[in-house]
Amino acid sequence: MALKRAVFITVLIILILDQFSKIWIKTHFVIGQEFQVFDWFIIHFTENNGMAFGLEFGGEWGKIMLTLFRILVTTWLVFFIKGLIRQKAHKITTIAFSLVLAGAIGNIIDSVFYGVFFNESINQLASFLPNEGGYAPLFQGRVVDMFYFPLFKGFVPDWIPFMGGDYFIFFRPVFNIADAAITTGVLTLFIFHKKAFPTN
């Protein structure tokens, strides 16, 4: 029961933080607007049609298929986590998968509903449930991203093959709390794989 409660609280907290941050950004920033917190930490509002960290996948039908695939994987994760709880799996394993689940649900909400719930954010602040309707049909919403960490900037040394002399930024992708939860869950499973997936 304690593990079940921990899973529920983990998913709930991630979803609340994720959706609150996205709705706040969506209703207070226009696309491309940014606010510099530190030199290496910028709040930058952007939206993407695809996967985590702005990756794209196959246009309109590709987006629908990606969203449906996310829903199927998320449904599978719910049953998988229930199985882990019944088997009294290690807490690290269960919480790590819970982070992945929460992140997946967070981005599914954007993809499925945001196009209906909000109008465009281009050159205007979006409003919730506008009279003129949303910017896209159901399942055609865009995922809201806002965290940008350009930790290092500079030019690649000339002696490095293929990339020598190119300007680079690390870390370039803009992401959200849902993306961070998924990444944290996967990294946790990788780092603690011996505890997460014991062989005996």
Active site (catalytic) residues: 145, 179
Measured between alpha carbons, how far is 87 from 82 in angstroms, rounded to an integer?
9
- φ, ψ of residue 128 to 5 degrees: the values are -85, 130
Measured between alpha carbons, how far is 168 from 188 in angstroms, rounded to an integer?
28
Q: Which residue from 9, 177, 179, 199 is spatially nearest to 94, judged by alpha carbons?
A: 9
| Alpha carbon of residue 103 to chain centroid | 6
Q: How many CB atoms are located within 10 Å of the residue 179 CB?
A: 22
Q: Which residue from 141, 135, 138 is spatially nearest to 106, judged by alpha carbons?
A: 141
Residues found in the chain? 200
* Cβ(143)–Cβ(110) below 8 Å: yes
184, containing H or E segment: helix 177-191
Whose tokens are 């930024």? That residue is 169
Residues linked to residue 46 through DSSP beta bridges, in sequence order:
145
